Amino acid sequence: MTAQGWHKLTAAEHLSAVRHNEGRPYTLERLSAITGISPKTLTKVRRRKQPVDFPTLEAYFQAFDLTPQLEDYIDQKGLLAAGSPKALVKLEPEQLKSQLALDSPFYIDRPPAERLCTAEIMQPGALIRLRAPRQFGKTSLVARTISHAAENGFRTVIVSLRAADQQLFHNLSQFLRWFCAVVARALGLPNQLDTRWDDLFGSIYSCSDYFETYLLPNAESPLLLVIDKVDDLFEHPEVASDFLGMLRAWYEQSRYSTSQKPEWRRLRLLMSYSTDAWIPLNLHQSPFNVGLLVELPEFNYGQVESLAQRYGLEPVSHYVDVLLQLLGGNPSLTQLALFHLSQQNIRLETLLQTAVCPDGIFKDHLNYVLSKVERHDLLKPMVDLATASITYSSRVGLQPRVALQLQGLGLIKFENQQVVPQCQLYCRYFGQFTQSTVNSNQGSSNQANSNETIRFTSR
């Protein structure tokens, strides 16, 4: 198969797994049953290193309602079946977007995250907390969970808090009225806030009553309510504390509701938020210690290998080894690197040389990370850690909160009671900074916050 044929086939296979296998990738034995091809032959087809006969290839495609086209396979002479020289298949840069399409061949499963989400939403009163650093694939996983819910007859609503005007975050009543109106519109229901909202009982009671007596009982089917970008609330504690406390109360209502109030059992909550944001301590008693926590990890070796194969890069192992060391399995950065490499925009050697350059392909990400560490007085500890790793110094002292914030940004990891930069990219980038640069950018205010430190050995 050409890279284009492989992408087309894996996309159809993934979509079939989402629809018919609870989102879990098909095992080789299940694929054999679906396609009628032996596991040994399937392995040969999927590795794309040895030729197979056309009927086998056709059977594989037809099992997923596809017909192989001339540009999907290569004859034994290494030419396209149409007779033109083998050329690089140009791919759409969809992996550079915030969300991958449901049938995208570039979506990589990270078990057990997909299975946990699709299974948990089937439980009455479920609450899922989906947490990961920025651009780790949360939105794409949410889309797949919503698709699974819709296929099972759920009503589905996604509310992005980033869509709310900033002024709403300063008035709880206005914010909750906006929240109710957005959900009602998504469900195709008329706005009845003027007749159902009673300021005498307060905005939290009125909002809860609006859901209990109007939105939830409007249909017998469950309602999957996705609240995206929850971390946008953390900077507005006057609204966040009450709103998140209300969601906690809804979860408890749905889990322990009586036969007189069955409506709450129809509600399924999915909250998506980034570890980039620090959750204030007064919010931890809200929904952040109940329900099911699903965290998206970095890509492992097998996942980067699978992605490199989908981009048609050879030899796969060479790309995987280099990119894992450079990027530490960061999903968005790995996708970005593989896209440019597959399009022959850059060679692997050049990518390594220019990774931390101001005009390199990672410049936008590095600029964002720098702005975050400067904003939260984290530049000096990150530079100290990177410098110690480069020079093999023995120890770096980090305050507990600093360590957790850097980990939330995806910049460090803990290994065997050691703290180290997450990957070579961050080590090289922050290792460039001099002490004078750190002082001019941020000073040493982070040292004054607390005398308490956690000491980790750096390597």
- Of 155-169, 180-194, 380-394, give the lowest mean pLDDT range: 380-394
| Cα–Cα distance measured from residue 425 to residue 430, given in angstroms and rounded to the nearest whole number | 9
- Higher-confidence residue of 157 and 68: namely 157
pLDDT digits (tens, 9 = 90+) for 320-338: 999 999 999 999 999 999 9
Q: Please check the confidence at residue 179 and state whether its pLDDT lies above 60.
A: yes
pLDDT digits (tens, 9 = 90+) for 13-64: 887 887 888 778 888 899 999 999 998 888 888 877 677 888 888 899 999 8
CATH 3.40.50.300 domain residues, the chain? 113-295
Question: What class has domain 113-295?
Answer: alpha beta
| Cα–Cα distance measured from residue 87 to residue 80, given in angstroms and rounded to the nearest whole number | 8
For range 88-99, the mean pLDDT: 53
For range 330-347, the mean pLDDT: 92
Instruction: Give the confidence band of 314 by pLDDT, cuts at 50, 70, 90.
Output: confident
pLDDT digits (tens, 9 = 90+) for 376-418: 899 999 999 999 888 877 667 788 889 889 999 999 998 777 7
| Cα–Cα distance measured from residue 36 to residue 254, given in angstroms and rounded to the nearest whole number | 45
Query: What pLDDT, on a 0 to 100 scale, did the predictor assign at position 25?
Result: 85
Instruction: Give the confidence band of 285 by pLDDT, cuts at 50, 70, 90.
Output: low
pLDDT, averaged across the chain: 85
Query: What pLDDT, on a 0 to 100 scale, did the predictor assign at position 395?
Result: 67
Q: Please check the confidence at residue 447 and state whether its pLDDT lies above 80.
A: no
Query: What pLDDT, on a 0 to 100 scale, did the predictor assign at position 334?
Result: 95
pTM attached to this predicted model: 0.77
Question: What class has domain 1-89?
Answer: mainly alpha
